[in-house]
Every structure is written in structure tokens, then in C-alpha cells.
Chains A and B, each alone.
Chain A
Amino acid sequence: DSGVTQTPKHLITATGQRVTLRCSPRSGDLSVYWYQQSLDQGLQFLIQYYNGEERAKGNILERFSAQQFPDLHSELNLSSLELGDSALYFCASSVAPTALNTEAFFGQGTRLTVV
């Protein structure tokens, strides 16, 4: 158990809908990262938050947004969903503001299926 909790584990929704994925980082970790992993593909970095503020942005679509709350949990909002958004979404956390010298701890992921 990595200590990172993601909910829900599975989500099935229709095209055009909006969903929210939730992540609780490990106790003490201030950084949260979101990744998208399509079937049998690599990890695409979406966005990072550190202590409530956006720290780095990757290939995140405009239809997607995220935030980190004062209690450090984070939410990833995906709207106007398309079939191609079907993927495994991982949240990871680390203690430091950058990924430079700290390992990331990953949650179990949320599998999103858009039908």
C-alpha cells in the first residue's frame, strides 16, 4: 500500500459528460501529480500541484482541470468527455516541490471508460 488513495477505482460514463477523480496523497506529502495512461501506453504527465498551487503543467487538455485543496487532497475534473479519454488516471504524491530528487508514490488509479 503506497499510502495514496484514489477514488473511484472504476468509472463508466457517456461521451459529453463530466467526471471528478479524487486523490488523497500520502500523509506528509505536499506534491500531487496527475498522469494519464492509455491502454498499454506510457505515462503522460498532466499536472502537478504543490501545497495548493499549480507547479507544473504537462499535456493537459483544456477540457481537463485540477486543483489541490487546503487539506492537500486533489481533484481532477474531466469534462466534455470523448471516447479517447478512456484511460487509467494515476495520482502520485511526493514530499518535495519538485520531482528532482524525490520518489513518487502512486495510487491504484482510476479506470475511466467513456462509452
Chain B
Amino acid sequence: GQQVMQIPQYQHVQEGEDFTTYCNSSTTLSNIQWYKQRPGGHPVFLIQLVKSGEVKKQKRLTFQFGEAKKNSSLHITATQTTDVGTYFCAPRRDSNYQLIWGAGTKLIIKP
């Protein structure tokens, strides 16, 4: 079956430091979506990547889709307290309606 690994599970950073989460698939993807879930909240769509090698930016967030369309990353520059939450990748395959989600990376800002 389709294997998706999202790492790390947790990342503790000082406010102002950078944060990166990675999503790796064992198979080629059609596209990948990223969602953010604030503590006590529900997942909210951030972005969708479709093309090989695609890079998209949203202010301090940079999303990348690998050339082979098997991996993706989300990088946050200079984290702020509002970035706290869990970031999920949601890879998609053409022939598979199953909705596989990464396990999520929890961003924790050190006090």
C-alpha cells in the first residue's frame, strides 16, 4: 500500500528560528496538499502543489514539491507564536481514492 512518512513528529524551536517538515512517499504522487491544525482546532487547507519541482511561497512559508513528485517540504522562516500547531501533508494519487495523511509535525515554540 501507499506509504507516507512525515518527519519530524515534533519540532521545538525558539521564536524567530526556522522550522521545516518533510513528507516522503514511497510512490509517485499526483499532487500534495498541506494543512495546518492549531491547538484545539481543525485542519485548515494551506496549499496544493501539483507540478514536479514546484515551489510556492506564502509570506514566511515556503512549500516545495520534489522533482520526482515523491516528497515535499514546508519551511517556515523566523517562526512566530501564531505558527504554533500541527502541519499535515496530504498526498494524493491518481488511482487511489483513499485519503492518506501524514502523521503531522507539531511545531512547538519554546518559552
Binding site for B on A (CB under 8 A): 2, 33, 40-43, 45, 48, 55-56, 58, 90, 92, 98-101, 103-109
B31 to chain A, nearest CB (A): 7
Secondary structure class of chain A's binding surface, majority of residues: loop
Closest to A103 in B: B45
Indicate the size class of the contact surface on chain B: 20 to 34
Q: Which residues of A contact B48 (CB under 8 A)?
A: 101, 103
* B13 contacts the other chain (CB 8 A): no
The 8 listed contacts between A and B (C-beta, < 8 Å) are A42-B103, A45-B101, A55-B97, A98-B97, A101-B92, A105-B45, A107-B42, A108-B41
Q: Which residues of B contact A103 (CB under 8 A)?
A: 33, 45, 48
Binding site for A on B (CB under 8 A): 30-31, 33, 41-45, 48, 50, 88, 90, 92, 94, 97-104, 106
Query: Is there an interface contact between B42 and A43, defined as CB atoms closer than 8 Å?
Result: no
Closest to B42 in A: A106
Query: Is there an interface contact between B97 and A108, defined as CB atoms closer than 8 Å?
Result: no
Given contacts A41-B103, A103-B48, 19 further A-B contacts (CB under 8 A): A33-B99, A40-B106, A42-B103, A42-B104, A43-B104, A48-B97, A48-B99, A56-B99, A98-B97, A99-B92, A99-B99, A100-B30, A100-B94, A104-B45, A105-B45, A106-B42, A106-B43, A107-B42, A108-B42
